[in-house]
Structure 1
């Protein structure tokens, strides 16, 4: 009889633990529904509506795809802002991920002051709030390093466009790239520290060079983190309050006759574009299973 009753007791204990977990989750779930999910769905409705503010409240009139058509046919500033932002995101993301990987490899070594330098590279993440970064951009603080004053800048500028374009972009935005690479460095460091010493020791005994160890050991092991950091960086840069599209959306929220509805349509166009970029990044960087013959 005791043996038959044991599973029921175990099941009831598991159910009780699950209920306690859901109770702790309730405040977060309520916040998600009220402050995130409802505005998310309501913005879809507004993007198809003409919004009018009246003393009695908000009145809406369904206009279909009118705002979406105007965004591409009449609004030339939005199209330019969208292209500039996509260029900014697509160029900055690989640069940030590569720089973060290189910094993580350097900071993973054993040297004096390693903890201090790790803190220095992560410190910008702590003060990267919207008002702070906006003030830095407005005062041109991110351009404190003037690469055009060095000979290497002129040398890179003289290279063919295919080679010079990405390198020039790095030089012109080096502070901003370093600023956004803090979290990525931490994630890469965590991945590097999980690579067992016996694996590296065995590779060294077999005569593998540092370059070979990077391509054969480090890079395959860090591949999931490369995907994670790429997705994170794309989302981070797309939500950057100072990029051209986000400023365009905010500035057009109160246009006469287009209040909120037009800016909602612009936001959803931007969202679809970024969703497509995220999908392409996932398809390119996801881990592929080798087919068995």
Structure 2
């Protein structure tokens, strides 16, 4: 019989690439990971790993077993969800990971609803970059996490995770109000405030600008959207900002809606969708996107019109004027 814990280590090795990375993720020593994988090879009766110096790769049999391991781990999640469903209702700890703008705008309402409707839940929120969410879900330090990508830079599906759509946001061009022109192509010679190179936001800005015929010239790098907008308001450059982080804009910033959209999904381990606590969180987050609490926010792909928000303009081919903040 194959040991499930060892199957999980094999799956980790396939995902992370090295025994050292697996050891770090699982708080083991590299020697302990190697011993467990060797024991799994004995259980399987075939070589699972090919060792070349310090490098390790999966054999054909190892690749086959990894695919089955994902199915086994998902089945265990389904079994845990089925047992939890026998209880009287959602209860116990539930760990939620979300990016900063969602923590500020969506999580408070969702947490209030969960506390009211499911008082037996122990809610724990961690502010987390979406890039770290898949690993945290796999490693069971999170139960539910928010992921996002952009229509111009779609993410690859993770075979260990399931997810449901939550939100589709407009991406805005943010400019100093005094010099705003509202045309992306006209910012080609202006300084830009970009995210850190290597991040999704940085890549998205590069792609959007390339599609408009230019490469943005970076003056500043900042990853926090509040900082980005403060720099824009100070006349330090222009930037791209998603709706949750931008509406309403601070004084001195003019937003112009672009065609690009940021897409947010609620993710959880494959097989966990019917777990009462997970289902309760998904429902609460979904409900939190419905009310038009903030003008201009797009919920579930049904775009609202941001022209009613001070400092926001519709796309540049719109015929009605922007509203200027008082």
When the two structures are superposed, what TM-score results if normalisation uses the length of structure 1?
Answer: 0.26
When the two structures are superposed, what TM-score results if normalisation uses the length of structure 2?
Answer: 0.24
Higher relative contact order (CA 8 A, sep 6+): 1
Higher helix share: 1
